[in-house]
Structure formats: C-alpha cells, structure tokens
Structure 1
Amino acid sequence: MPSLTTTAIVCAVRHHGEHGAIARLLTPDHGLLPGYVRGGRSRAMRPVLMPGNVVKADFRARTDEQLAGLTVELAHSRAPLHAEPLPAAAIDWSCALTAAALPEGTPYPALHQAFSGLLDAVEAAPAARGWAAALVRYELLLLAELGFGLDLTRCAALGGADDLAFVSPRSAAAVSRAGALGYEERLLPLPPFLLAGGAGDWAQIIDGLRLTGFFLERSILTERRSDVLAARERLVERLKRAVA
C-alpha cells in the first residue's frame, strides 16, 4: 500500500517521538491501517485524532513494509461524546477492541459497516438503551469474523432450535433449557434478543455483555487483558450503575 486516500475511523493513537503520533484507522476496504502523523500531538491535531472520529486519511509510503506517513482531515467529529460518561466509555471500549483485535491490512467490510453503525447509534441515541444491544452484536460479529463465532442455531446437546437459553463456554454452542437441565450454573445465559432481534431489556443486555466478554477474553484478547479489557470493565460498570 504505497499510497491510499480513504475515509476512516480513528481507533487508537499513541505518541511517537517528541511531536508525532502513530494512529491506527479502520478503513472500509483495507481494514486496520497504521500511519505516522507528523505533529500528531499538537493542539490542532488532538481534536482530530480522537477515537471514534471519522477522517479523510492520506497514507503515503515508499514500500509496503514501511510505516506510512499519514495526513488526516476531520470529516466528522464525535469529540462532544467524550464529555459524556456512558458514550465516552462505549467509544473508548469499541475503538480499543477494534484496534487490538484486528490484524493490520486485512479487509473486514462487514465489521467496518457494523462499527460505523454502532458509533452512529452511540451518537444519536438519547440513552444507552439505544446502543447497548448494538454493541453486543458488534462484539459477536467481531468474534465471528476472526474465526471464533458462536453457534446459536441449534442445541448442542439435543439438536433442534427450540427454547435455546444458554451457551456452552466450552463449545461456544447454544443449549436449550431441556438440554441444560441440571447444568445451568455451568453455562452462560443466552439473551433472547440475540435470537429474536430487537433491543432486549437491561437484564438481557448485561447477560449479552457477559456472554461476549467471556469469549473475547478467552479467544481474542488473551495477551492484552490488562490494558484493553480495563476499558470494557469501565463500560460495563457504568452501565450497571446507570440501570441500578
């Protein structure tokens, strides 16, 4: 990728050198891409390089192996949301997850579309109930796109697709109430909204976050627990307090 101009979502930024920054952006057609932004730590660039913002990005590199130089122009700012505790926590976590989980340079168009939709929902919804279910679905999609998808189509114990209510932490497959009889405490609750659609109530959403969180920690974030999962813990705790 010697050169590329595209819109992209800012997912992560870290300082590099005295004045620069390395930004990792999710693009529609090329996946997650890093680039060095000269002056990325300046007062002018800090509001642009905020997680969740949409930018017009111009990557330039001499070779495919070289870290590209990157210039960015703000296309859509979500900076005001960073002043609101719940939206800020949702953006921080979803951006951190995306940056940590995805390999660089691999296209994930479905994930880009879902991630963009999730951020739009966080921005537009008057309350967290309007985007929390979308976050659970985004996490499920990310697991599936990376090869760790859950099988929620039929009961792993008895077969059939009726009355699915749990997920096996071992096989990541759904289990019906009849199939789970006597083993309920060893299984993860399967929120009905993940099967029937809709937003679900708060108890279902918290169960959904518990479900996806288990598999994200086990399969995706195994080497990045302390820093990345801390953002998720902050989000879940804020959601629990908000609905208590």
Structure 2
Amino acid sequence: MEWQAEGLIIGTRKHGENAVIIETMTAEYGRHLGLVKGGRSRKYAALLQPGNSVQLTWRARLADHLGMFTVEALALRAANLMESRQRLALSQLLCEHLRLLPERDPHPRLYAEALAMHENEADGEILARGLVKFEMRLLNELGFGIDTSSCAVTGETAGLCYVSPRTGRAVTKEAGEPYKDKLFALPEVLGGALEMDKAAEIEAAFRLTGHFLHLHIWSPRQLSPPSMRQALIEGLVNGLY
C-alpha cells in the first residue's frame, strides 16, 4: 500500500529510541498517522513540528497498519509561529480541533480552512471570524451541527436570532424573546439575524460553539477544552474594543 499527499502536521509523539509517530491532516486521506524512522534526529528537528506543511509518502504492507511516512518540507511555519503568541495559540487550537476527527476520514473543507488560517496574516477580527466558522463546520462534520435552516417553532427561514442550548435548533426573535435568557444568541457571523457590536458578536459566537463542542465532543470523550482556547478568544475579542 502506498499513497502521496500534502499534509499539515498536527501532532507528534516519540516512539522507541529514535523514531517519531506523526499525526497529519490531508485533504484526501483525512487525519492520518505514520512512523518516521530517525524522526528524533537533528535532521528532522525543525521539520516535524505541528503547523508545518509537508509532502508525505505513506507505505504499509496492509491498509490498516500504522505504516511508514517519508516526509519532505513544503512550508516550515513553526519558527514564525513562535514569534507571535496569538498565532501560535491559533495553530495549536486548530491542530487540537483536527485531532478530534475520526482517523482516515477525509474532511477536505476543514483541511483547507485550517491551512488557510495558518497562512493568513490578517488582523484579529478576520482570524476570529475564521476560527469560529471553523468550529461551526467542525461540529457539522462530526454530526452535531447547529440547525439554522428554519425556526423550530414557526418554520420561518429568516430572522433567526436564538439557539436552544439543548436541541441546537434556531428560533426567530419573536419566538425566542420570552425565553431569551435561557437561549444562546445567534450572531450574524454564524448566519443569524441578531445585530450586535463586533466584540459582542464574536464573544456570542464562541460561546455558542464552545457550548456544543463541550456538550457533544469534549464531555462525552472526557476531554477538557483546549487550554489555549479561552485565552486566544479573549485576546481576539479584546482587540476589537
């Protein structure tokens, strides 16, 4: 068995005396692991870092084996990421999110969005909007999407402003107004019609995605939210004031 693809390194761990198992995200083969012989040598020290893009060749005797990776550099971002605490935290969070995906299950849109955010040097607001949309897509592709197609009460497709924390169904402002203290706001960045200032909109959007990530993914898997997430969100939001 053999394939070749471009991939984003999202995790590494030591194996034996001198090998490394790398975890990568590819468009064609999804989240995929493989062994790199000699991966702990100086030759690979700068290459096998999360956030780097590499050209991968994977070989294994059988499809369900771990297999071996041959790795060549495409874009070594790790050193530049270290120069910006915010961009480093963003990279770490994106990698942690991608590691939630089933192994070897292709998610080309998530891969493309994660790659674009690694390469984008835009300001905080653009990064914040891209990240919260990425979290929304992650929920959708894991089968826990927030239903913003129509109002759960009236069936209307326009004017959706709130989301139920239990069902993930959206409702219009009129239908949700009596219960708004128990509902999540659905800001425009996530397809809602609730008008808010920039900082409040981003905060509300991350509050919404964070709730459903915890409800459907982190809690059932007995995982804690990524440690860098809250600090990153606060930094992005503070930059909007």
TM (normalized to structure 1)? 0.89
Q: For residues 237 and 137 of structure 1, what CA distance do their matches in structure 2 show?
A: 17
- Give the unaligned 5+ runs of structure 2: none
Q: Is the 8 A contact 2:91 2:118 kept in 1?
A: yes
Partner of 1:102: 101
- Which residue in the other structure is 1:203 paired with? 200
1:4-36, Cα deviation, whole Å (9 max, x unpaired): 111111111122223222111111111111011
Q: Aligned partners of 2:181 and 2:17: how far apart in 1? A: 53
Q: Is contact 1:118-1:138 (8 Å) kept?
A: no
| Residue in structure 2 matched with residue 72 of structure 1 by the alignment | 71
Give, in angstroms, the shift of residue 196 of structure 1: 7.0
- Specify every segment of 5 or more residues in structure 1 that has no aligned partner in the other structure, as ranges: none
* Aligned partners of 1:96 and 1:231 also within 8 Å: no
TM-score, structure 2 as length reference: 0.90
Deviations 1:33-88 (A, max 9, x none): 10111222333323212222110011111112221111211101212023201111
Question: What SS does structure 2 have at the residue aligned with 1:55?
Answer: strand
AA in 1 matched with 2:169: A
What residue is the counterpart of 1:134 in the other structure?
A: 130
Evaluate the alpha carbon distance shift between residue 19 and residue 243 of structure 1 in structure 2; reply closer, same or farther with a 3 A threshold: farther
Partner of 1:239: 236
Q: CA deviation at 1:107?
A: 1.4
RMSD: 2.0
- Match status 1:86 vs 2:86: yes
Q: Provide closer, same or farther for how the CA distance between residues 148 and 41 of structure 1 changes in structure 2, counting only shifts above 3 A.
A: same
Mapped contact 2:186–2:192 kept (Cα < 8 A) = no
Tell me if the contact between 2:132 and 2:206 (Cα under 8 Å) persists in the aligned partners: yes
* Structure 1 residue 218 corresponds to structure 2 residue 215: yes
Count of paired positions: 236
SS in structure 2 at match of 1:74: strand
Q: Does 1:165 align with 2:161?
A: yes
Is the contact between residue 2 and residue 59 of structure 2 (CA under 8 Å) also seen in structure 1?
yes
**Structure 2 CA distance, aligned partners of 1:62 and 1:184?**
57
Equivalent residue letter for 2:64: E
